[in-house]
Copies of this chain bind each other. A is one copy, B any other.
Amino acid sequence: MRAQVHRISTTGPDDIEGLKAAIAAGTINPRHIVAILGKTEGNGCVNDFTRLLSTQSLKAALAEILGSTLQEVQQRIAFVMSGGTEGGLCPHLLVFEADRSPSRDAVPVPGRRGLAIGVSFTREFLPEEIGRMAQIEATAAAVRQAMEEARLQRPEDVHFVQIKCPLLTGPRIAEARARRQSVAAPDTYESMGFSRGASALGVALALGEITADAVCDAVVCRDYSLFSRRASTSAGIELMRNEILVMGNSDAWDGPYTIGHDVMADALDIDAVGRALARIEDAAAVKLNGHTRDMIAAVLCKAEASRSGTIRGHRHVMLDDSDIHASRHARALVGGVLAGQLGDTRLFVSGGAEHQGPSGGGPLALILRH
């Protein structure tokens, strides 16, 4: 099997021209697409419809190209749109291909395991399930399923799990209340955190980072000592299920890509870039320089405002700002930290890292093209 990753800048949330051009040029085989991640330019919060606009535009384009129905496209491809390109972040798509056909020209590089990817979906959740055990358990099951699909048997071979998960809106909360059900978070912005947090705990459970008896409804967004070092979860208004992309390295995959990850201990932890590079198996000597920068095919990471209200002892204002939500500040900050280091603003920085890395920090993954 062979995985490929294509990074395509967009001119707006509805821009499908870059994808169509790559397909027309033969660079991308549309039948191999299994997931599309995207940074879109909305606020990344509750009323961010750019995620939906992007998803809708991509689905319509792919349905036409593939001669499929929208339903078929949706069943096969995970769409993980993450809103918010604050600071200098560049709106872009990451298109993941998985070629599962026996490929004659596959030339495994001895000693190098290739990027392996698996996609899965949970069922649709009810509003009252979001941010609670139902979401945690369904996510854990789906992560295991995607690992199996990717032939990533061992949890340690998994380097990143990207998830799109739902959020609560006024109407959704009202619908649950009409059925006399309470919801995990009555504030809609806050509900995003609960959905991200429960999804991340599901990843941690599936990867053995926490044990089943450690999780219950009460720990979500409360006991932050429980977290995954590889989960990145992003909430959106445009779906009610979780869509999951598991990434790792495996002998069963022979493409030119490999992935490595580490955890940023706080928002300024630029050394995480070097640590993630060092994790890429056959690349102990890889250092960040002009050459390695050119090898970077994708950067994925999480950002959040530290709950302590400080970064390395100095106050930040993110949590007290009623004009700009904390997740927007956090994306701008971590985007700047990494863009300065990498010289590139095409970074998939997702905001809100509940149970994803330690408080104030978050997982970081780099995909290199050899």
Contact = CB atoms under 8 A, between A and B. Distances in A.
Interface string A179-191: 0000000011110
Nearest to A337: B340
A88 to B, nearest CB: 4
A171 B11 CA distance: 8
A73 interface: no
A340 B336 contact: yes
Interface in A305-358: 308-309, 311-312, 314-325, 328-330, 332-341, 343-346
Nearest to A174: B309
Nearest to A346: B314
Contacts of A253: none
Nearest to A84: B317
Given A87-B333, A268-B345, A345-B311, A47 B316 contact: no
A227 interface: no
Contact of A329 (B43, B50, B87, B322): B87
Interface stretch (A52-60, A119-127, A135-143, A240-248): A52-60
Contact of A317 (B41, B60, B237, B321): B41
Indicate the size class of the contact surface on chain A. Answer: 35 or more
Interface in A32-60: 41-43, 45-50, 52-53, 56-57, 60
Contact of A322 (B47, B60, B270, B337): B47
A95 interface: no
Most buried by B among A88, A187, A317, A320: A88
A63 to B, nearest CB: 11
A323 B174 CA distance: 22
A254 interface: no
A118 interface: no
A14 B47 contact: no
A143 B47 CA distance: 35
13 contacts: A14-B49, A43-B322, A47-B320, A49-B53, A90-B316, A174-B309, A188-B322, A190-B190, A267-B339, A268-B343, A270-B340, A270-B341, A337-B340
Interface of A: 9-14, 41-43, 45-50, 52-53, 56-57, 60, 85-92, 169-171, 174, 187-190, 237, 267-268, 270, 308-309, 311-312, 314-325, 328-330, 332-341, 343-346
